[in-house]
């Protein structure tokens, strides 16, 4: 990972990062901050969130003061960034015994620095973000439109709400889409798009778009429904039990007025642990998929990595094929005993 200052009218200062694995570009990005050191540290922090694809991470920094800022844990102006960086590095190092991080220092004056064109593109985008006011009256109407589109794109990416799957203003598909397409598998590609547009087979979609359809939104890793007291499996009873279990799981019991009762009468049933079929649950935490998650993503994947990189898009497809999750609706829940 290379970290560099980008040339923009400052302040604010802009810094970029470029990550390569072998010969291929994994990701790039930039950060703005009121100071030069702040921008470099922010760029490094952003880059580290994509560090889940390799055992050995080599970080190239432009000067020594940056590495000193990272590892100074006494009070200094960038302590909150140092803390976040150290936490991120500990997360990476503790995920596997083979994981290592090596810091290098380089000079921006060196000839043959890599990725000049990528840094140039990052600089242009940062300049547009810092100083977007080329007078419209001097531009061709088509260029005005393109400039507006680029500004909107940058704002959308920054907002982070849309998962970086929208096509770049110059017409290139973003890395995530290219990665999802690389598997040449129509089903997982369609599912990848569904995940980014929230038209997926998950709880959010059922709640908002399929009200009354009675979709099963409870992940199979949840504890089974308790047995029906009457032994009946009538659907009304099932529905009531289900609601009751959800109520118990989400409401802590009120202060007990039964404090004076004998102990055996005071005990309440332990709330059933319910996990819903949400995108976040399936991708990041569902215990049913720990093994394929580790095997395919290598480490706890970040949203930025999965939905922001070529590798992320491709690995998402592999994960969905391996787990068969978020590709189709969940089957109905089995009746309680
Ligand atoms: Zn689960």
pLDDT band at 249 (very low <50, low <70, confident <90, very high): low
- Dihedral angle over CA of 95, 40, 102, 73, nearest 10: -70
Q: What is the pLDDT of residues 127-148, one digit of tens each?
A: 777 665 555 556 777 777 777 7
* Per-residue confidence (pLDDT) for residue 183, from 0 to 100: 84
For the record, the structure tokens of 269 come out as 């049933």
Residue 301: partners with Cβ closer than 8 Å, 6 or more residues away: 52, 283, 284, 293, 312, 315
User: Is this structure's pTM higher than 0.85?
Assistant: no
pLDDT tens by residue, 104-127? 888 877 777 778 888 888 888 877
Is the residue at 198 inside a domain?
yes
Which of 16-25, 107-116, 237-246 has the highest mean predicted lDDT (pLDDT)?
A: 16-25
Q: Tell whether 127 and 140 lie within a shared domain.
A: no
Q: How far does the centroid of ligand 1 lie from the alpha carbon of residue 288, in Å?
A: 6
Retrieve residue 303's tokens: 């949203």
User: What's the 282 CA to ligand 1 centre distance in angstroms?
Assistant: 6
CB 51 within 8 A of CB 85: no
Could you tell me the distance, in angstroms and rounded to a whole number, from the CA of residue 184 to the centre of ligand 1? 28
CA of 284 to the centre of ligand 1 (A): 10
* C-alpha of residue 48 to centroid of ligand 1, in Å: 27
Task: Tell me how far apart the alpha carbons of residues 46 and 25 are, in angstroms, rounded to a whole number.
Answer: 16
Is residue 283 predicted with pLDDT exceeding 60?
yes
Same domain, 139 and 109: no
Residue 281 Cα to ligand 1 middle (Å)? 6
Confidence of residue 252 (pLDDT cuts 50, 70, 90): very low
pLDDT of 237 strictly over 70 = no
Question: What pLDDT, on the 0 to 100 scale, is given for residue 296?
Answer: 92
Residue 123 lies in a domain: yes
At residue 328, the pLDDT reads 85
Under the banding of pLDDT at 50, 70 and 90, the label for residue 279 is very high
CATH code of the domain containing 67: 3.30.420.10
Q: Determine, yes or no, domain membership for 31.
A: yes
| Confidence (pLDDT) at 278 | 93
Query: 149: phi > 0 → left, psi -120 to 50 → alpha, else beta; which?
Result: alpha
Structure confidence at residue 293 (pLDDT): 92
pLDDT at 95: 80
Q: CA-to-CA distance for 232 and 119, rounded, in angstroms? A: 67
Measured in Å, residue 94 CA sits from the centre of ligand 1 at 24
Domain check: are 71 and 127 in the same one? yes
Range of the domain at 308: 181-222+275-323
Cα 195 to averaged position of ligand 1 atoms, centre (Å)? 17
Distance 219 CA to ligand 1 centre (A): 5
Is 93 a member of any domain?
A: yes
Position 168 scores a pLDDT of 64
Query: Would you call 281 helix, strand, or coil by DSSP?
Result: helix
pLDDT at 218: 92
Inside any domain, residue 254: no
CA of residue 321 to ligand 1 center, whole Å:
16
pLDDT score at 291? 92
Interaxial angle between packed helices 79-95 and 64-71, expressed in degrees from 0 to 180 and rounded to the nearest 10? 80
Residues 9 and 99 in one domain: yes
- Is 228 within the bounds of a domain? no
Residue 329 vs residues 5, 168, 195, 203: alpha-carbon distances, Å? 47, 31, 13, 10
What number is the average pLDDT over the span 302-325?
89
Distance 233 CA to ligand 1 centre (A): 24
Alpha helices (H) in the chain, listed in sequence order: 36-48, 64-71, 79-95, 116-130, 141-159, 175-181, 186-197, 203-209, 235-250, 263-266, 279-280, 290-297, 303-308, 310-323
How far is the centre of ligand 1, averaged over its atoms, from the C-alpha of 289 (Å)?
Answer: 8
Tokens of 213: 């359809």
If you measure from the C-alpha of residue 320 to the centroid of ligand 1, how many angstroms do you get, rounded to a whole number? Answer: 14
pLDDT at 322: 93
How far away, in angstroms, is 27 Cα from ligand 1 center? 30
The model's pLDDT over 215-225, given as tens digits with 9 standing for 90+, comes to 899 999 987 76
Asked if residue 55 belongs to a domain, the reply is yes
Shared domain for 122 and 139, answered yes or no, is: no
Q: Is residue 251 part of a domain?
A: no
Query: How many CB atoms sit inside 10 A of residue 27's CB?
Result: 23
Q: Are 82 and 197 in the same domain? A: no
Q: Are residues 304 and 186 part of one domain?
A: yes
Give CA–CA dist 14/125, Å, rounded: 10
Measured in Å, residue 263 CA sits from the centre of ligand 1 at 34
Confidence band (pLDDT; 50, 70, 90) for 292?
A: very high
Give the Å distance between the CA of 213 and the centre of ligand 1.
21
Determine the Cα–Cα distance for residues 323 and 325; give it in Å rounded to an integer: 5
CA distance 243 to 19: 48
The CA 296 to ligand 1 mean position distance, Å, reads 18
Task: Output the CA 336–ligand 1 centroid distance in Å.
Answer: 18
Q: What is the pLDDT of residue 155?
A: 60
Is residue 162 scored above 80 in pLDDT?
Answer: no
Alpha carbon distance 144, 271 (integer Å)? 59
Cα 87 to middle of ligand 1, angstroms:
27
DSSP secondary structure, 34-53, as one string: SSHHHHHHHHHHHHHTT-TT
Cβ neighbours of residue 31 closer than 8 Å, sequence gap 6 or more: 14, 15, 16, 39, 42, 43, 45, 46
Q: What is the pLDDT of residue 161?
A: 42
| Domain count of the fold of the chain | 3
Pairing of strands 100-105, 56-61: parallel
* Residues of the chain above pLDDT 70, percent: 74
One domain, residues 148 and 91:
no
Do both 121 and 67 map to the same domain?
A: yes
Among 28-32, 60-64, 167-171, which is the least confidently predicted range? 167-171
Taking the centre of ligand 1 as the mean of its atom positions, its distance from the CA of residue 275, in whole angstroms, is 6
pLDDT at 318 over 90: yes
The pLDDT confidence band at residue 259, using thresholds 50, 70 and 90, is low
> What separation in Å is there between the alpha carbon of 292 and the centre of ligand 1?
13
For the ranges 65-69, 254-258, 300-304, which has the lowest average pLDDT?
254-258
Residue 231: the pLDDT is: 45
Gap from CA of 21 to ligand 1 centroid (Å): 32
């Amino acid at each position: 990972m290379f970290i560099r200052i980008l040339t923009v009218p400052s302040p604010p200062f802009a810094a970029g990062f470029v990550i390569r694995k072998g010969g291929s570009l994994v990701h790039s990005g930039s950060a703005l901050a009121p100071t030069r050191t702040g921008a470099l540290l922010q760029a490094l922090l952003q880059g580290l969130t994509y560090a889940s694809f390799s055992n050995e991470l080599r970080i190239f920094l432009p000067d020594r003061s940056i590495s000193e800022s990272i590892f100074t844990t006494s009070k200094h102006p960038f302590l909150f960034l140092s803390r976040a960086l150290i936490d991120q590095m500990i997360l990476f190092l503790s995920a596997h015994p083979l994981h290592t991080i090596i810091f290098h220092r380089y000079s921006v004056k060196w000839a043959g620095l890599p990725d000049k064109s990528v840094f140039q593109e990052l600089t242009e985008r940062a300049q547009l973000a810092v100083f977007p006011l080329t007078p419209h009256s001097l531009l061709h109407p088509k260029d005005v439109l393109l400039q507006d589109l680029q500004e909107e794109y940058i704002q959308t990416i920054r907002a982070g709400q849309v998962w970086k799957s929208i096509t770049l203003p110059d017409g290139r598909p973003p890395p995530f889409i290219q990665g999802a397409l690389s598997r040449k598998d129509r089903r997982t590609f369609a599912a990848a798009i569904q995940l980014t547009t929230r038209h997926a087979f998950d709880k959010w979609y059922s709640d908002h778009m399929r009200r009354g359809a009675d979709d099963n939104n409870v992940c199979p890793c949840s504890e089974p429904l308790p047995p029906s007291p009457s032994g009946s499996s009538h659907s009304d009873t099932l529905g009531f039990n289900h609601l009751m279990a959800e109520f118990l799981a989400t409401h802590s019991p009120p202060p007990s007025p039964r404090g004076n009762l004998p102990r055996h009468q005071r005990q309440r049933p332990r709330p059933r642990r319910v996990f819903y079929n949400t995108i976040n649950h399936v991708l990041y935490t569902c215990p049913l998929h720990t093994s394929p998650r580790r095997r395919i993503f290598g480490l706890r994947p970040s949203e930025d990595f999965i939905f922001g990189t070529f590798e992320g898009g491709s690995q998402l497809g592999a994960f969905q094929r391996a787990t068969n999750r978020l590709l189709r609706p969940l089957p109905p829940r089995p009746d309680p005993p």
